[in-house]
Amino acid sequence: MDRVRVGGGTGFYGDTFMPALDMMRAAAVDYLCFEDLAELTLAILQKDRAKNPLQGYTKDLIPMLEAGLDIALKNHIRIITNAGGLNPQAATQAVAQLTRRLGLPLKIATVTGDGILEELQQFLPFAHMETGQPLSAQVHGRALFANVYLGARPIVHALQAGADLVITGRVADPSLFLAPLVHHFGWDWEDWDRIALGTVVGHLLECSSQVTGGNHGGDWETIEGLDAIGFPIAEVCRDDEVIITKLSGSGGRVDVDTVREQLLYEIHDPHAYLTPDVAVDVTGARLEQVGRNRVRVSGIRGAQRPAQYKALLGYADGYMGQGMMGYSWPDALKKAQATDAILRRQFARLHLPIEEIRSDYLGYNSLHGPLARTQASDDLNEVYLRLAVRTQDKRTAEQVSRLMVPLALGGPPTASGLIGVDRVRALTGIWPSLVDRHAVDAQVSVTVEEVLP
C-alpha cells in the first residue's frame, strides 16, 4: 500500500511546537507542515521588518528547527512552512546560519514573489473584493503590506528539487499540505476531485489542535489530555483513502464531531471553498469513525480553480487605546458605568479627537455586547470596565490611561484589580482584492540552496 503521512506542526504564529517534536521523534509523519500566517499575522511581521530589514518572518521558526531539525533529517521528514512571512529570504538566511552552527547539511528551498506592494501600480485598480471600489490613493499611501495567496505549485517544484525544508511567504494555508500529496502521488493539477481532497486534508490540518479536540464546541469536558494534546496527522493512500488521526498516546480526540467542526471552519460557502488551487465542494463529505481517534474522509468534490488569485493589502488605520478597572459588590456594575460616564465627560471637555469609544463590562457583556443576557445586574459580585478608543494619533490613545488611573482615588469606590492600561495598539485596515494570475506567477520564484556544515 503506497501511503504518505502529513502532519500539522502549527496552526498559527505562537502555537506550541512540542507536539510537532513528538511526531518527529516518533517518525510518525513523512511531511510536517507549519502554518504560521493567519490573516493578520503579516501586520505583526510588518512591524518587525520596519524595525529591522532582516526580520519579517515568524521568530518561532529558529527555535523549532534548533530543537527538531536533526531528528527530522534523521527520520527523513521534510518540512514545509509559510513562516517566511514577509521576508522568506531572511528566514532562509537565519536557518542557514543555524544549520551551520548545528553542523547539519540542509537543502533549503525559498519561495518568493507573493509580495506585491512595490509592484502595486501594475495591479491597479486593485478593486475591493466585496465593494468593487478601486483602491483609493489614501489607503494606498498607508499600505503596510500587500500579498497574494499563492497555491501549492511552487512548493511542489521545491520538493521535486529535493528540498528538505521549504520556506514560503503568503501561501494559502491548505496549499502547504496539498503540495506534498501532489508531489508524492504525481496528481494532475486538473484532477479537480483529487486536488480538492488534498486541499481538504490541508484544511483539516492547518489549524493544528482544532481538529483533535481543541476549541471543541461539543462535549468538550469529556475530552481528555488537553494538557498534552496531539496535533493532527493525515494518512493518505494512493487509492485516495484519507484518514485523520493523531499521534498514539497523545491527548485530545479525533472523532466525527471534531472533524466536521474543522471541516466547515471559516470556509464560507461549503459548495465552493475557494483556494488558489481548486474550488472545493464539501457538501457531499462522508466522515466515518474507523478506529479509535481515526476518521475516514471521503466524498470531496472539486471544480476548476478560481481564475484569479486573492490578494490582501493591510493599511495603517489609527490606534486603539484601552484600559480596565474592576469594581466589587455592592453596586459593581453601577460603579463601573459611572467611571465610564466620567471618562466620556473628560474626553469631551478636553476635546480629544476620538473617533469611536467602546465600553464593555467584563463578566457582564464584554463578549456578547447587546446580545448578552443581563439578569441580576444589580447584584453582580464584581465587574470590570473595559474602555477602548479609536484615534488617528497615538498620543490621544495614550490619554485613556492617563485619565483612567486617577479615578482609583477620585472616582467611585472600590476600584481594584487590573487597574491600568494596555499598550496602545496600531490598528490595521484590510483591503482584499483579486489579481491576475499570470502577472503574479511571472514574479514567483523558487530558489534552492544547499547548506553544508
Partner 1 sequence: MTIQAVFYARSSDKGDDIDISVFAHQGAAYQWLLNELTVQRVEDFFTPMGIAGVDRYPVPGLLAIKFVIHHALDGGGAHSLRADNQGKTWSGALLRYALERWDNSTG
Q: How many CB atoms lie within 10 A of CB 79?
A: 28
Whether the Cβ atoms of residue 387 and residue 322 lie closer than 8 Å to each other:
yes
> What cell does 275 get?
483556494
> Which among 1-9, 83-91, 244-252, 370-378 is the span making contact with partner 1, rule CB under 8 A?
370-378
Among residues 103, 141, 186, 369, the one that binds partner 1 under rule CB under 8 A: 369
> Which among 13-21, 98-106, 179-187, 312-320 is the span making contact with partner 1, rule CB under 8 A?
312-320
Binding to partner 1 (CB under 8 A) within 64-103 occurs at: none
Binding to partner 1 (CB under 8 A) within 221-280 occurs at: 257, 260-261, 263-271
282 near partner 1 (CB under 8 A):
yes
Which phi and psi (to 5°) does residue 444 adopt?
-80, 135
Angle at 430 between CA 362 and CA 141, to 5 degrees: 125
In which element (H, E) is residue 316 found?
strand 308-328
Among residues 283, 374, 416, 445, the one that binds partner 1 under rule CB under 8 A: 283
Quickly list H helices, 390-430.
394-404, 407-410
Which phi and psi (to 5°) does residue 239 adopt?
-85, 15
316 near partner 1 (CB under 8 A):
no
Which phi and psi (to 5°) does residue 203 adopt?
-65, -40
Q: How many CB atoms lie within 10 A of CB 291?
A: 11
Binding to partner 1 (CB under 8 A) within 334-363 occurs at: 356, 358, 360, 362
Say whether 38 sits in a helix, a strand or coil.
Answer: coil
Q: How far is the CB of 453 from partner 1 (least distance, A)?
A: 41
- Quick one: 130 or 239, whose CB is closer to partner 1? 130
432 near partner 1 (CB under 8 A):
yes
Q: How far is the CB of 225 from partner 1 (least distance, A)?
A: 19
389 near partner 1 (CB under 8 A):
yes
In which element (H, E) is residue 386 found?
strand 382-391
Nearest-angstrom CA–CA distance, 169 and 149: 9
The per-residue b/e assignment along 384-423, b for 16 or more CB within 10 angstroms, e otherwise, is bbbbbbbbeeeebbbbbbebbbebeeebbebbeeebebee
Binding to partner 1 (CB under 8 A) within 116-155 occurs at: 130
417 near partner 1 (CB under 8 A):
no
Among residues 3, 14, 39, 402, the one that binds partner 1 under rule CB under 8 A: 39
> Which among 52-60, 86-94, 150-158, 317-325 is the span making contact with partner 1, rule CB under 8 A?
317-325
Whether the Cβ atoms of residue 208 and residue 230 lie closer than 8 Å to each other:
no
317 near partner 1 (CB under 8 A):
yes
Size of the site for partner 1 (CB under 8 A): 53
Q: How far is the CB of 36 from partner 1 (least distance, A)?
A: 16
Q: How far is the CB of 269 from partner 1 (least distance, A)?
A: 6
Residue 32 forms beta bridges with which residues? 7, 79
Which spans of this chain sit near partner 1 (rule: CB under 8 A)? 39-40, 43, 130, 215-220, 257, 260-261, 263-271, 282-287, 299, 314, 317, 320, 322, 356, 358, 360, 362, 366-371, 373, 386, 388-390, 427-430, 432
